[in-house]
Structure 1
Amino acid sequence: MSPRAASRRFLPATLALALAMAAAPAWAKSGDRNQPMDLTSNTQDCSLADDGSPCVFTGNVRIVQGTLDVRAARADVRRGGGDITRIILSGSPVRLKQDLDDGGSINASAGNVDYDLQTETVVFTGDVELDQPGRGTMSGGRIVYNMATGRVQGGGEQGGQIRTRILPKGAKPGQGGG
């Protein structure tokens, strides 16, 4: 597998969210993307074809890859060309946790997460809450991260606002609420 394909294996968007919220850069656990991806659920309906056909996991979905831990009600995983091309997560809510190379961590929750590896875009929607303990928080109705450009865009739902809190260096983890 090429380094580019390996780096796009699964949800490194948490890296971008950490960068967007922190005054100093922090990197998602870089070794996670080279780890096996383990999925468990109550049911699964998968196509073994490598043509973009869905592999749908439902009920108590858990995805673990290295330190990345995702919990959702449903995961729709698409493959093409031997790689994962898109993952659509839904839940009540979807919850993600990941360690960072600098020893920190990031936690995220949203009603839906759409990770399109072909466009290198991750879209979080529905009561999005992102927290990097000791660094800051971001919340709102919709947060979009472009992995290729590093651009993060956010907005509220139905006229609501996006909220961001960036903590000063050395802040205590309990100061992350927004």
Structure 2
Amino acid sequence: MIKPIAVLSVRHPLGAGLYASLALAIVATSAYAKTGDRNQPMYTKQDSVNGFNAPNTVTTLTGHVVVTQGTMKATGALGKIYLDADTQVSRIVMTGSPAHIEQRDDDDNLMTGEAPTLDYDNINGIAVLSPNAVVTKQGSGDAHADKITYNTNTSHFTGEGNVSATYLPKPKPENGQPASPGTATPAPATSAPASHT
């Protein structure tokens, strides 16, 4: 089954209240975040920590911060971890030069994102990167924008402000032969099709 792996919506101001939109899609068989990543334990490593392991609190991580959960890895100079009423990690905010996030999908393709600020909604799998954000999907391409919102569950992303994108073609087989050996290639047409009267 073919599913879109990335849909880019671009919003660029052309004047007061006037916007141009562009929707682009790349097609592949699968491209969602690794199933079960958010069901894995979350680990942090940093130079220092200040916070609580209690409901509705914020913990500050300082210096060489690394947060991992399954295949998701976020790095930065400063991190804040928000716990919800059930003492579950609901949000991670990383800052750095730049802050970085990466995660693999079920096909083991790597998605990376970089920006000075990374705001990751751990409940819904939404990463907001800004300003000067870059998101790259292995084998698919990349997008640059002032702000990128990326849904790790669906690979849908939106870019706002000064957006540019690169879309990579699907790689051809190394030997240049058709994917199925023994399959005959149809001969090119040598005449116009017969008309039916």
Q: Give TM class, smaller chain.
A: 0.7 to 0.9
Which residue type is aligned with residue 61 of structure 1?
V
Q: Which moved more, 1:85-94 or 1:137-146?
A: 137-146
Cα distance change of structure 1 residues 122 and 131 upon mapping to structure 2, 3 Å threshold: closer
Q: For residues 66 and 115 of structure 1, what CA distance do their matches in structure 2 show?
A: 15
Task: Name which of 127, 141, 146 aligns with 1:141.
Answer: 146
Match of 2:7 in 1: 20
Mapping for residues 73-152 of structure 1, pairs under 5 Å: 73-82=77-86, 83-116=88-121, 121-145=126-150, 152=157
Match of 2:171 in 1: 170
Does the CA contact (< 8 Å) of 1:23 and 1:169 recur in 2?
A: no
Output the TM-score relative to the length of structure 1. Answer: 0.73
Q: For residues 75 and 163 of structure 1, what CA distance do their matches in structure 2 show?
A: 28
- Which secondary structure state, in structure 2, belongs to the residue aligned with residue 114 of structure 1? strand
- Which secondary structure state, in structure 2, belongs to the residue aligned with residue 20 of structure 1? strand
Cα distance change of structure 1 residues 107 and 147 upon mapping to structure 2, 3 Å threshold: closer
Does the CA contact (< 8 Å) of 1:134 and 1:171 recur in 2?
A: no
Does the CA contact (< 8 Å) of 1:86 and 1:116 recur in 2?
A: yes
Q: For residues 33 and 116 of structure 1, what CA distance do their matches in structure 2 show?
A: 11
Cα distance change of structure 1 residues 148 and 63 upon mapping to structure 2, 3 Å threshold: closer
Mapping for residues 36-75 of structure 1, pairs under 5 Å: 36-51=41-56, 53-75=57-79
Task: Name which of 13, 33, 37 aligns with 2:38.
Answer: 33
Q: For residues 64 and 144 of structure 1, what CA distance do their matches in structure 2 show?
A: 20
Cα distance change of structure 1 residues 65 and 164 upon mapping to structure 2, 3 Å threshold: same
- Which secondary structure state, in structure 2, belongs to the residue aligned with residue 33 of structure 1? helix
- For residues 118-158 of structure 1, what are the alpha-carbon distances to aligned partners after superposition, in whole Å with 9 as ceiling and x for unaligned? 787532102211111221101111012467997632122xx
CA RMSD of aligned residues (A): 2.6
Cα distance change of structure 1 residues 34 and 47 upon mapping to structure 2, 3 Å threshold: same
- For residues 21-51 of structure 1, what are the alpha-carbon distances to aligned partners after superposition, in whole Å with 9 as ceiling and x for unaligned? 7422412111322211110100100123202
Which residue type is aligned with residue 20 of structure 1?
V
Match of 1:3 in 2: none
Higher-Rg structure is: 2
Task: In structure 1, list runs of 5 or more residues that go unmatched.
Answer: 1-17, 173-178
Identity %: 29
What is the CA-CA distance between 1:117 and the residue it aligns to? Answer: 5.2
Task: In structure 2, list runs of 5 or more residues that go unmatched.
Answer: 9-25, 174-197
Count residues with an aligned counterpart: 150
Q: For residues 105 and 126 of structure 2, what CA distance do their matches in structure 1 show?
A: 20
